[in-house]
Copies of this chain bind each other. A is one copy, B any other.
Amino acid sequence: MSVTIKKIAKDLDLAVSTVSKALRDSHEISAETKARVFEHAAKLDYIPNPYASSLKKGRSGNIAVVLPEVADSFFSAAINGIDSVAHEKGYHTMVYLTHEDIQREQSIVREFRNGRVDGVLMSIVANNAKYEHLRELCASDVPLVFFDRVCEEIPTASVITNDFESGYIAAQHLIEKGCKYIVFLSMPGELAIIKHRQNGYQQALQDHGMQPCIIYCTDSEDENIAILDKLLTGENKPDGIIGSIEKITIPVYTVCHSRNIPIPSAIKIIAFSHLQIAALLNPPLTTIAQPAFEMGKAAATILFKTLAKKYDLKDEKIVIPSVLMMRASTHTD
């Protein structure tokens, strides 16, 4: 096995406790002894066993990040933001993917209740109304911070973007560009962020005396293509589309291309997306871009604040606004 405090103590003819204190630069150890210990530790390339000390101190030095999927560029950026804070604080980041599966989320979260991680950052699965496992996690005193996809029934901190307002802005943008029949592509389930975007959309249409129309997509890209193909080649075609989440973008463009539906002249498209490459699409896609990196960073910052000095998370609600990136899919000039 590798080099331990015991070995250093033996080599220098000291007690393990002395070495332990010296390594932690305790004031009760003489400068001379500290110097000897440090030197010998460096020579042997001593690296402390993190889990031995975690067992003693009751903290692991790890945090968990729980995500529905990482393929989505939003979550990549969020992990970057989280890691930027965690690394600075000397914490290690464990990543868990739920793949939108509530059972998987439950079994993952369950394990957090016995010391593997000191805190949890989480974006919950869609299409679900179960949250007993989250309640239990909080009851176990493991701090939990939601970001992006929050569970509003759990009283803890959250970092979100202004989804209602963004939904309103997206709809208003299409209305200003002359759209008369705007469809909102939604996802089934209880996901708060989509609900809020949808409500913003509905409010905007109502404010302009227009009739909302919600279409529900699924998790299958093939099914979504079929749904959209039917919508865009049917009787009552929309002239504006709002994609409520990033992955709906690809099927929309795919159908418009395959059916030769010109964007933006026949139909204008705006999507909630974080993709930088949206600017290079054919045509460039107007997006509502979420501040993913900043949200991850803010969520991690809150978590480390409570890890450093416990305080009540439930009043910590941060809203970081999304940004409308106007491009050619809604805009002729």
Query: Contact residues of A with B, CB < 8 Å?
Result: 1-2, 45, 47-52, 54-55, 58, 60, 62, 69-73, 75-77, 79-80, 83, 87, 92-97, 104, 110-111, 113-116, 136, 140, 249-250, 253-254, 257, 275-277, 279-284
B62 & A94 in contact (Cβ 8 Å cutoff): yes
Check A52/B55 contact, CB under 8 A, given A94-B92, A116-B92, A280-B250: yes
Whole-angstrom CA separation of A69 from B280 in the bound complex = 22
Q: A70-B76, A114-B2, A140-B2 known; A253 and B280 CB under 8 Å?
A: yes
Q: A51-B54, A253-B280 are in contact. Are A97 and B83 (CB under 8 A)?
A: yes
Q: Tell whether A51 pairs with B276 under 8 Å between CB atoms, given A95-B94, A97-B80.
A: no
Give bound CA distance, A113 to B44, whole Å: 13
In the complex, what distance in Å separates the CA atom of A69 from the CA atom of B140? 34
Closest 6 CB pairs of A and B: A282-B282, A51-B51, A47-B114, A95-B95, A253-B280, A280-B281
Is the pair B50, A116 in contact by a Cβ cutoff of 8 Å? yes
CA distance A83 to B79 in the complex (A): 15
For A60, list chain B residues within 8 Å (CB): 51
Q: Which residues of B contact A104 (CB under 8 A)?
A: 87
With both beta carbons as reference points, the residue of chain B lying nearest to A273 in the complex is identified as B277
Identity of the chain B residue whose Cβ is nearest the Cβ of A1 in the assembled complex: B58
Q: Which residue of B lies closest to A284 (CB)?
A: B282
Task: Write out the residue numbers on chain B whose beta carbons fall within 8 Å of the beta carbon of A2.
Answer: 113-115, 140
A117 — nearest CB in chain B belongs to which residue? B92
Which listed residue (B72, B83, B110, B283) contacts A47, Cβ 8 A?
B110
Contacting residues, chain B, for A62 (C-beta < 8 A)? 94
User: Do A51 and B115 have beta carbons less than 8 Å apart?
Assistant: yes
- Bound: A97/B280 CA distance, A: 27
